[in-house]
A and B are shown apart, each in its own frame.
Chain A
Amino acid sequence: MKHLDEYRDPHLAGKLIDKIKALSRRPVRLMEVCGTHTVSIFRSGIRSLLPPSITLLSGPGCPVCVTATEELDKFIKLGRQKDTIVATFGDLVRVPGSSSSLQKERADGADIRVVYSTFDALDIARRNPSRTVVFLAVGFETTAPTIAAAVKEAKKEGINNFYIIPAHKIIPPAMEALLAGGELAIDGFICPGHVSVIIGADAYRPVADKYHIPCVVAGFEPVDILQTIYMLLSQIEEGKAAVEIQYRRAVNFTGNEKALALLSEVFETCDAPWRGLGSIPDSGLRLRDNYRALDIETKFDLTVPRTQDHPGCSCGDILRGVKTPLDCALYRKVCTPSNPYGPCMVSTEGTCAAYYKYHD
């Protein structure tokens, strides 16, 4: 048996589904925070196997989707600067800002390059010393440490044409903001796996303690997710609100010390704009003074006019879990993956794209 086979085993999955059905007595709403979980749930057909009493909601855990329009407009404005190369993760190129997208800018001649790691962007900077190379630092705690490492390396090597736009987001404050908003009834969180490898499961204690919501950190295979749902149901039935880890093969309670140390050496928290959630205190990362010179906004003025999302686009409500794509007037009618109106339809991990791709 290969490593992952047991997590896709139909017999194990079948047993868990039976246990979930036996335990599920009343309607519960569970939110999977992470976009990778959303996709895994759809791809494996888990929704078609759960009893109707369990509703799965998709949360704000797709980094592209929660990137605010004003941030996207900044990225687009950056692409129009002379002698500038914009390096980005692939997901971002199709996301529409208020009037354009990186993809359209590329067709118009902007030098936009898709990279797989910040270190690729650093390489581009080394090879193009006469041009300004900017990495769009989008993502959660999962990608932030590698970006911190690249920033540190650039400073150490004295690569003076490498910059980033810090647009990182931190997950736990967003979960708290969702609950504090009061418009959303959630009975449990399926907590992100990759993010928790870095930050540790203890990061969710404020959510569990303050709002009395059970939190279980989940792996990404079908059996992982089913077991997580079972663990959440057990807590709900017993009236508990604890932080538990299902994804024990990768996650502990305290996180990755080295990565966290690197993060806090390079970045400090700041308020950050989230699509659909507005500005959330201490939910973003900016470069510390020692590294501030690598922030491209110290070189270019990237101020953009205040923007509005497309009228009718429900991405904000969908990211907060108060609407599903099926409640959106644009979904499937005019908003499709090839003609997206909002980010949830663009990113492969966006809720709308997942519904479009996998939901009949």
Chain B
Amino acid sequence: MKHDRILLDHGSGGRASHDLIASLFLPQFDNEFLREMNDSAVMIIGGTKLAFSTDSYVVDPIFFPGGDIGSLAIHGTVNDLAMRGARPLYLSVGFIIEEGFPMADLKTIAGSMKNAAAEAGIVIVTGDTKVVPKGATDKVFINTAGIGIIDPDVNISGQNARPGDKVILSGTIADHGITILTCREGLQFDAPLKSDSAPLNTLVAEMLATSRKINVLRDPTRGGLATSLNEIAGQSRVGIRVHEEAIPVRPEVQAACELLGIDPLYLANEGKLIACAAAQDAEKLIDIMHKNPYGRDACIIGEVISDHPGKVFMKTIIGGNRIVDMLTGEPLPRIC
């Protein structure tokens, strides 16, 4: 049963997205940059190592606890650049706006983009605005693209994980995904849920100032921690073993996930990173991360192993073993 139409699953960030890229886009656009399948492309221009990345933002609802589509559009691209070890510098912004969209909302979004860009130390230098007839889009979609500079001796890529590396996670998982999901469905919980949307470039800069033995950085956005770990394992041809008890999840997030029957491992994060770094530098990195507000809950969640390349394993809380697969399709709440 091959697909003859695009389904929502193709945009989920999980296996269907990967299959679409590998089977349709890669063959058309194939080159050494794309083939790496990293968050940004890295190129050398005039002796300078540059990172270049783009992302489109279609989040619904456009305003949510912890941010809005504007701040997300800045943070997302800043983070994609930072995940190559780059210092993000300049950003482009493209708006596709639905006819009838409230001017006041657009102003709010632009304001939060300004603030997010200021915090990340990035400058919006070019942009584009399109308006389409009512119904041709949903409220507002934003595309951002950015460039940043990478130090010549920094070489961070999803392909670089080495057996023996420690796997570091910068904080709690699933905050963004569960917030959006519950907002979208109008579900209310006693404890307020909040997106973790945040720029991670300062955290990355501080990590790189502490250790040059960081081999991989990845922000586990769509598809969640489980999908990002699988991507790293696949790209680096290594196995990854994580410890369930080490993975931090806020109690309110855990409770909401249990109610909906959704695994937090597969929910999006917008202000978290995974790092694979040499074991001897791991503790040093954790210490420096704890000093940054966006790395306060950083911890070691596992290690890179040479066995079972391409696979991710989990030691469960009760001591059992299981594999952790990529996301397939949008996480759907269960029936009963």
Which residues of A are interface residues toward B (Cβ below 8 A)?
Answer: 2, 8-10, 13-14, 35-36, 42-49, 63-64, 89-94, 96, 103-104, 106-108, 114, 116, 120, 138-140, 142-143, 194-195, 222-223, 226, 336-341, 347-349, 356-360
Contact = CB atoms under 8 A, between A and B. Distances in A.
A328 to B, nearest CB: 16
B8 A103 contact: yes
B322 A48 contact: yes
B95 to A, nearest CB: 26
Contact of A348 (B318, B322, B334): B334
A42 B8 CA distance: 27
A120 B187 CA distance: 11
Closest 9 CB pairs of A and B: A45-B320, A90-B332, A337-B328, A13-B318, A142-B336, A45-B316, A107-B5, A45-B322, A89-B335
Nearest to B17: A338
A256 B248 CA distance: 36
B187 A116 contact: yes
Contact of A36 (B7, B261, B317): B261
Interface in B1-39: 1-2, 5-9, 14-16, 19
B317 A337 contact: no
Interface string B62-102: 00000000000000000000000000000000000000000
Contacts of A9: 318
User: B interface, how many residues as a size bin?
Assistant: 35 or more
Contacts of B311: 360
A91 B335 contact: yes
Contacts, number: 124
Name the residue among A43, A195, A338, A356 with the largest chain B CB count within 10 angstroms. Answer: A338
B325 interface: yes
What secondary structure prevails in chain B residues at the interface with A?
loop
Given A44-B316, A44-B320, A96 B329 contact: no
A108 B7 CA distance: 10
Given A107-B5, A338-B9, A356 B335 contact: no
B320 A47 contact: yes
Contacts of B323: 357-360
5 contacts: A8-B318, A36-B334, A337-B329, A338-B19, A360-B322
B321 interface: yes
Interface string B301-329: 00000000001011111111111010011
A148 B19 CA distance: 42
B5 A348 contact: no
Contact of B316 (A43, A93, A348): A43
B336 A42 contact: no
B293 interface: no
B322 A42 contact: yes
Given A108-B5, A339-B1, 18 more contacts: A2-B251, A10-B317, A14-B318, A36-B334, A45-B316, A45-B319, A63-B335, A91-B332, A91-B334, A91-B335, A103-B7, A103-B9, A222-B317, A337-B15, A338-B9, A338-B14, A347-B334, A358-B322
